[in-house]
Amino acid sequence: MKNYTLYVKFNALIVGTIFVCGLLAASLFLYSTSTYMNHELDTSGRELAASISQVVSNDILVDDRFAMTEQLLHAQQTNDQVRYILVTYPDGRILASTFTDGLPKGLPERRDVQHGGVDKTMIFDSTEGYIREVVYPIDGGLVGYFRIGLSERPMMQLMWKRFIQTMLVILAICLAASVLATRYARAFLQPVQTLAQAIRQIGRGNYSVRVPVETKDEVGRLAKAFNVMSNRLAVKDRENSKLLTALREKEKTRIWLIDQLFSAREDERRRISRELHDETSQSMVSMLAYLRLIMNQTEEPKVRELVAGVRDLTRETLEGLRHLAVNLHPPLLDDLGLVVAIEKYLDTYRQTQSGLTVSFHYDGDISRVSRPIALFCYRMVQEGLTNIARHAQAHTVTIGLHVLPSKLTLSVRDDGIGFSANRAERARLNNHLGLVSMRERADVLNGTFAIDSHPGEGTTLTISLPLYLSEEEEHEHSLG
């Protein structure tokens, strides 16, 4: 019944109740009528026997069997319920009967009528249905007894005819009740349907919908409560819209500020890298030239040794400045592209991490990668390898760069000690600068940043970024 409509349930309840009650009433009527008619049938049999006994009692006394048989056949023919009549002696022997060919099979020849059998009705089953046999004493049983067999068929036919008529009346009442119940259910459930339609409108976001309050019953109170709820939802929706608009503006401002922060940081890195390369490095090269000149012009061993030490220190410092300038802003990224810049950085990284095996593979059209995305990928490789060297205790690092038709995926995977989710959450709460900046930069570029790590199973950093930014986004995310 769960899947049926209220119309069906309402009609089934009313019509089913009427039908069941009518069926019970008809069954009770059938039982009571059957009991009453059986009693009346037995009574009419005894009355018939009493009337016949007045006619044939003299024939019995004079043993005129022919006259008795004629009277018995006449009584049987004038009563369609009588199937046979037997006249017996007081000891039960048959004196006369309406059977011309002897007793039928199954009908007892004698009955014990002298010990309470007179008042007892015997029932026999025959091809015509049940036969009820009643016994009536002639002159108190001194002369003999009448055994009259009465058929239940006429009575049952009449009774079933009345039962069928009653059931037809009940079905007609059920049909009328179904029509009335349908009309009443439609009138009763129409407000519920209106309320259901209004609820669907609420589900679609239309909080201005209202339902008419036409009655003061439970349905009317429900409609009134719905209107109150709809008003409150409309107010909340307006408040939420305002809050959402403000939140979007704040999020837009936050993204803009983050983008400006990254842009300013990269501009500053580029400026410092240029100064280190163009000014500081050149000054260090000039210093090396002067030191070489001093060594060539002095003959003092101590002075030459001192100048040589200063020259070596200056050369190491110059090399460090050059590495620093490259790390701040790799010129190869602008000149030769992302793959060459990463490979050059990995060459330098392998020299400082001799116990670590680093592999790099890529596929796809790298030329489709825009400059902001290429710079972000380079910074992610830097950040990932730096964290691996500091914390991972790894032996192998695998870097994968995949350029697909609509997006770019970069992963940095190591086989180090890994870390738990709780540790990653603590790092986030402590504003771990590298991870936070990676995640924020991925958001600015409309991408995703994910960390997958478990204790003892290593760590994988993965970014996924869309390709082909619009011209406005290209200009907005440009780093100078």
So what's the pLDDT on residue 429?
A: 46
Give residues with Cβ within 8 angstroms of 44, minimum separation 6.
81, 150
Measured CA to CA, the distance from residue 197 to residue 190 in angstroms comes to 11
Domain assignment present for residue 181? The answer is no
Residues of the chain with pLDDT under 50: 429, 431, 469-471, 473, 479-480
The sign one gets for the Cα dihedral 370, 374, 376, 377 is: positive
Within-domain flag for 109: yes
pTM (predicted TM-score):
0.46
Residue 37 lies in a domain: yes
Q: Is the dihedral of CA 56, 60, 64, 69 positive or negative?
A: positive
Q: Considering only CA atoms, which of 369, 333, 381, 382 is closest in space to residue 465?
A: 369
Domain CATH number, residue 434: 3.30.565.10
Element (H, E) at 463: strand 459-466
Distances (CA, A) of 137 to 71, 122, 148: 17, 16, 11
pLDDT at 426: 61
Cα–Cα distance, 181 to 10 (Å, whole number): 7
Distance CA 137, CA 424 (A): 112
Domain boundary among 175, 206, 240: 175
Determine the pLDDT at residue 480: 41
Identity of residue 249: E
Contacts of 107 (CB under 8 A, 6+ apart): 84, 124, 149
Name the DSSP class of 86. E
115-141 tens-digit pLDDT: 555 667 777 777 767 788 888 888 777
What's the CATH code of the domain at 53?
A: 3.30.450.20
Provide the domain count of the chain.
2
Parent domain of 476: 335-480
Q: Which of 140, 175, 210 is the last residue of a domain?
A: 175
The first and second tokens of residue 289, run together, are 């030239």
For residue 182, tell me if it sits in a domain.
Answer: no
Does 292 map to a domain?
no
Residues sharing a CB contact under 8 Å with residue 129, sequence separation 6 or more, in sequence order? 151, 152, 153, 156
On whether residue 13 sits in a domain, the answer given is yes
DSSP 106: T
**Which of 337, 448, 463 lies closest to 409, judged by CA?**
463
Spatial neighbors of 286 by CB under 8 A, at least 6 apart, are none
Q: What is the DSSP string of 328-386?
A: HS-HHHHHT-HHHHHHHHHHHHHHH-TT-EEEEEEES-GGGS-HHHHHHHHHHHHHHHH
Instruction: Report the pLDDT value the prediction gives residue 461, as an integer from 0 to 100.
Output: 92
What digits encode the pLDDT tens for the residues 8-61? 777 777 778 878 887 888 788 778 877 887 888 788 888 888 888 777 777 777
Around Cβ 49, how many Cβ atoms within 10 Å? 21
Predicted local distance difference test score (pLDDT) of residue 470: 46
CB 9 within 8 A of CB 188: no
Q: Is 14 among the domain residues?
A: yes
Q: Does 108 fall in a domain?
A: yes
Residue 123 contacts residue 96 (beta carbons within 8 Å): no
Of 127, 155, 175, the residue that ends a domain is 175
Q: What pLDDT is recorded for position 297?
A: 79
Sign of CA dihedral 122, 126, 131, 135: negative
Cβ neighbours, 10 Å, residue 46: 17
Comparing CA positions, the residue from 355, 414, 408, 356 lying closest to residue 384 is 414
φ, ψ dihedrals at 479, nearest 5°: -105, 30
